[in-house]
Copies of this chain bind each other. A is one copy, B any other.
Amino acid sequence: MSESTEKSRIKIEEAKDKVIGAIAETMDLYGVTPSAANLYATMYFKDQMTLDEMRTELEMSKPSMSTSVRKLQEIEMVKKTFTRGSRKHTYVAEKNFFRSFMVFYCQMWEREVKMNMEAIEEAQKDLIDVIKDSTSTPEIVADAKKYYDQLEGSKTYYRWLDDLVASIRSGKIFEFLPKDPQA
């Protein structure tokens, strides 16, 4: 191999590394550990990888790769693929960022809506009990009403968030915000 060929290879690797670094650095936003982030970013430029290839590439232990892959599978940024004739499991990175965005945020926001809406419903029931209770003083009733109204108001947000999730899931959001504006 000639020297300039070698230089070109290195330059390609450096180019990839710049992007790998940036992706990995912003992936804390997706709640993954730095090593899972590094793994995903590395896989982003590969067709598929086995656990052994990962540990070689990242110079880490196999169990570590195993747990990282599992975490990435959870948020669907990595999928298992079947590779004929190989006993090793092979994995591919989801390379469509729109899909990753959808899966991750919808999952997250749905959890937020569900958990908070349930708590609000329960809390409002309690507050209504207090309001209706004939033994409650006017002051207590006023207090209960205040909180009831605050919670009622916050529901507007959770309903909106739920709508946002629905419009991302259905793809309707891309009618409003096209993926490719000028096309």
Interface of A with B (CB < 8 Å)?
Answer: 2, 4-5, 8-9, 11-12, 14-16, 18-19, 21-23, 25-26, 28-29, 31, 45, 95, 97-98, 101, 108, 111-112, 115-116, 118-120, 122-124, 126-127, 129-130, 133, 135-137, 140, 143-144, 147, 150-151, 154, 156-161, 163-164, 167, 173, 176-181
A14-B126, A156-B180 known; A19-B151 Cβ under 8 A = yes
Q: How far apart are the CA atoms of A8 and B129 in the complex, in Å?
A: 9
With A22-B115, A147-B45 already in contact, the answer to whether A98 and B157 are too (CB < 8 A) is: yes
From B15, B112, B135, B167, contact of A147 by CB (8 A): B15
CA distance A19 to B8 in the complex (A): 58
Q: Which residues of B contact A154 (CB under 8 A)?
A: 97
Q: How far is it, in angstroms, between the C-alpha of A181 and the C-alpha of B156 when the chains are bound?
A: 9
**Is A140 touching B5 in the complex (CB atoms < 8 A)?**
yes
- Whether A12 and B127, one on each chain, are in contact in the complex, defined by CB atoms closer than 8 angstroms, is yes
The residues of B that contact A135 with a CB separation of less than 8 Å are 2, 4-5, 8
Q: In the complex the two chains form, is B112's CB within 8 Å of A12's CB?
A: no
The distance from the CB of A16 to the nearest CB of chain B, in whole angstroms, is 6
Return the chain B residue nearest A174 by Cβ. B160
Known: A26-B112, A111-B26. A123 touches B180 (CB 8 A): no
